[in-house]
Amino acid sequence: MSNGHAILSMVGRGARAGLVIVGVSAIIFILGNVLAYYAFPQFVRPMPRTVFDAVVWPRTGKGQELLPKIFSGRWDDVIKYHDLSPGFAMHPTLSFITAPVKNDHFVIGAEGVRLEPGWNDEFVKHILTKDTGVIFLLGGSTVLGHGVGADHTISYFMNNSHGSRATVMNFGSQAYDQHQAIEKLLYLLRGGYRPEIVVLLDGWNDIMGMARSNLRTRDKLVYHGFATNRGDIAFTPGDRIDDRKHLRLFLESLPLYRLMAISQRDPVSLDSIHQGRDSFTQGFDFYEAEFVFNHWVEFADRDRDLLKEQIVENLSENQKFIQALARGFGFRAYSFYQPIGLLDPNNPFVGDSARTARGYDYVVDMDKVVREAIATGQLPMIDISQRLRDGEGRNYVDVAHYSPTANKIIADEIIGRINPRSYPERTR
């Protein structure tokens, strides 16, 4: 055999050996990740079942029976309100915002306003720059109108009420509690907009937010918005957007890497969770935040008395701040404590199994504490939480969000309380 043939033979054997090594390594790599994928749940504490596993959701079989009756329409038509409702998006200064969508039923326009039929951004900007007759309506997804059309919202019915000549701007946003609503109000005031009246409708997200975050009251984390594009990877000061470490991101996504990472960390458990964490002095932990959100019902059971104190303290401080803003910027402010759909005995999306499920009693206790604080004057809010109790099962489109019928009732209640009759006729 010539030297050339010998060299080629050696190269061939080396190539085959290399391919075998690469193949075996690939098999081991894949097998390792498969095993890690199935082993991973053993290292993570399973999430407990809660009341939200027992309620009826719109796309279940029961939901398909209920929604057409509530809207008096066809299932294929009414489910679009639910499916087309927007999610979350990032914002450079606010914690998060409702995603800027535009579809047949939802249009989120200038400054995050939900547009009503016939509105556009130019109209919104014109109204916002007026000196009188403008009402800011702030709150969470119930104010935004999750699950209902543009002509079904609280703001729509307020704008078309015979008792109002003001123009209501719907600044409701998915998952906002009262703290986030005030944050949005501050943002608008800094932008130079001057409302005549500010109306806040809150309660549900405030109650749930207390148990879903163990941070100090003023720093309570709305995990929905936090989790959307705001994680470890997103927070990379100094990195260039076009210079991402894609190989590292790929490796971090693999089950084997995740298993190795979690095995090197001290396990997060309920016993390790510190209530009232001060992130300035005690830091902030992404894993802890996720654990508390997923295990909120255990957290609520352990720290129920403290959470009761916290929600009254939180809402009380919010009210003081809102009234200080009202005095400083010359508007009237009204804070309404909203009807809680989970607690309404006539809500068809909440059956007996939900009322006996874990976590339901937490909402009952927190609601009672808030209502008592309002009744005794400790909280300067207006309690309209019982306003929907005679709805014969037609006031909700799911466990929490209001139907067109309910939004009309709430709109009339708010108009009657704030009495916006003295303003000039609004221009359209």
pLDDT above 50: residue 86: yes
Count other Cβ atoms within 10 Å, centred on residue 266.
7
Tell me the per-residue pLDDT of 95-132, one tens digit each, with 9 for 90 and over.
889 999 999 999 999 999 999 999 999 999 999 998 78
**What is residue 254's predicted lDDT score, i.e. its pLDDT?**
86
Could you tell me if 152 and 404 are in contact, meaning their C-beta atoms sit under 8 angstroms apart?
yes
Please choose, from the candidates 146, 157, 158, the residue with its C-alpha nearest in 3D space to the C-alpha of residue 98: 146
The region of weakest confidence among 77-86, 151-160, 232-241, 413-422 is 232-241
> Side chain identity at 411, as an amino acid letter?
A
Highest-confidence segment of 22-31, 201-210, 217-226: 201-210
pLDDT band at 13 (very low <50, low <70, confident <90, very high): confident
CB 344 within 8 A of CB 358: no
Q: Are strands 134-139 and 97-98 parallel, antiparallel or unpaired?
A: unpaired
Structure tokens at 388: 């929907």
Q: Which of 381, 324, 338 is nearest to 189 (CA)?
A: 324
Question: In the Cβ-directed half-sphere of 379, how many Cα atoms lie within 13 Å?
Answer: 25
When the pLDDT of each residue in the chain is averaged and rounded to a whole number, the result is 89
Q: CA 396 to CA 138: how far, in whole Å?
A: 20
Q: Which of 9-23, 28-42, 297-311 has the lowest mean pLDDT?
A: 9-23
Q: Is 98 helix (H, G, I), strand (E, B) or coil?
A: strand
| pLDDT tens figures, 307-348 | 999 999 999 999 999 999 999 999 999 999 999 999 999 999
For residue 401, the SS3 value is coil
**Top-ranked range on mean pLDDT: pick from 8-17, 265-274, 326-335, 383-392:** 326-335
- Higher-pLDDT residue of 344, 259: 344
pLDDT range class, residue 235, cuts 50, 70, 90: low
Cβ atoms within 10 A of the Cβ of 24, count? Answer: 10
Query: In the beta sheet, which residues pair with residue 134?
Result: 167
Strand 88-89 with 97-98, pairing = antiparallel
